[in-house]
Structure 1
Amino acid sequence: MATLTLIEEFLNTVDERSFTRHGQIHIGGERLASARALADWLADHGLADAGVEMEQTDLVDAIAFRTTLRQSLAGDVETATAFADYPLQLAPDRPGELRIAARTGRTWLDVIVETVTVAVCREDWRRIKLCAAPDCRWAFHDTSRSGRGRWCDMAVCGNRHKTRAYRERHQQAT
């Protein structure tokens, strides 16, 4: 499952959303709240065997990498910063071919680092975005033709933004 979907789901293991919709308050949270939660998430995504034990250092590294990637998407740091602690190299692949390989010592982290690296090289990374709504910031894969999508869901975040802007314009007019 080494795709943009994996990256998107990894980035969304932290839910920063804090909005109200139809009277329901959405309160975000941290899916990777423990080493056990990390192990479960990895198993659910085929990156580790079910029941594998994770160490606290695994959790710290996963959250640090995710945080740096999210900061990169927000424009707070350069994307290359996310890879500072994860040296990459070319490794043999199929006969006569090479692939980008991470050597973190953890297979699951190698897959995530390599998936992001390949997305950056293919310029697919620019299609992974954080929702422009400040009370959302959900990571999403922008599938719009122009690549200019701003909202994780136009019917929710985009609509709330447009409604807010409409109300502000009409309040200023009166």
Structure 2
Amino acid sequence: MRTAGDLDLVRDFLNTLDERRFTRHGQEHSATDELVSGEALSAWWREHDLAGSAPDGAEPDAAELGAVLRLRTALREALLGAGPAAGQDALAGFPVRLAPDGSGRLRLAAATGSPGLDVLVETVATAVASGRWSRLKLCAAPECRWAFHDTSRSGAGRWCSMQVCGNRHKTAAYRRRATA
């Protein structure tokens, strides 16, 4: 089973909701949501080496799926920076505590009732505590909002892809200046 700490895991989790809606090379991209059922969540847990809540292999129930979707929504709202309390109420349902890790150290631990969800919450909490959370962003293009891990030296990346969203934005800005 995967342990907390991989910010790319949180990026992949956020991108289970694909809000992109644009045309590229004549192809219309439609928004999709990977996590529409307990079966889909179970498949995502397995794909990312995360255990679900049921030790007997049963599918996640509606409560677990609802908690997962609330966390995803709250994290996306927080990344959009929709005010100082963005996602605060939704995130309040995912508390973390200090717990011994067995080697005399302490770690941040969640107790959501779902081991997979615990790993996601612990990863976010660890990233926030270490300052790495600021490197996880949503694309600045309103028609995209794809989550990406900003690996630029300055940490000032705005686009999920400079070749797609960044280029589209810069081309539109150039055209506006040229017609003005």
- Relative to the length of structure 2, the TM-score reads 0.90
Check the 8 A contact 2:98/2:109 in 1, yes or no: yes
1:7 to 1, 6, 10: 10
Residue identity over aligned pairs, in percent, reads 55
Distance 1:23 1:65 in 2: 34
Structure 1 portions without partners, runs of 5+: none
Shifted more, 65-74 versus 26-35: the winner is 26-35
Change (3 A) 1:80 1:34: closer
Displacement of 1:55 after TM fit?
A: 0.4
Give the structure 2 partner of residue 55 of structure 1.
61
Displacement of 1:83 after TM fit?
A: 3.1
Give the structure 2 partner of residue 33 of structure 1.
36
Shifted more, 99-108 versus 81-90: the winner is 81-90
Measured against aligned partners, the alpha-carbon deviations of 1:94-146 in whole angstroms (never above 9, x if no partner) come to: 32101010111111111110000000001100000000001000000000000
Check the 8 A contact 2:138/2:160 in 1, yes or no: yes
Distance 2:161 2:93 in 1: 33
1:113 has 2:113 as partner: no
CA RMSD of aligned residues (A): 1.6
Displacement of 1:12 after TM fit?
A: 0.4
Check the 8 A contact 1:40/1:51 in 2, yes or no: no
1:95 to 80, 83, 103: 103
1:127 to 129, 135, 144: 135
Check the 8 A contact 2:75/2:87 in 1, yes or no: no
Q: Which amino acid aligns with 2:129?
A: C
Give the structure 1 partner of residue 174 of structure 2.
166
- Relative to the length of structure 1, the TM-score reads 0.93
Give the structure 2 partner of residue 145 of structure 1.
153
Task: Look up the SS of the partner of 2:108 in the other structure.
Answer: strand
**Alignment size in residue pairs:** 172
Q: Which amino acid aligns with 2:75?
A: L
Q: Which amino acid aligns with 1:67?
A: T
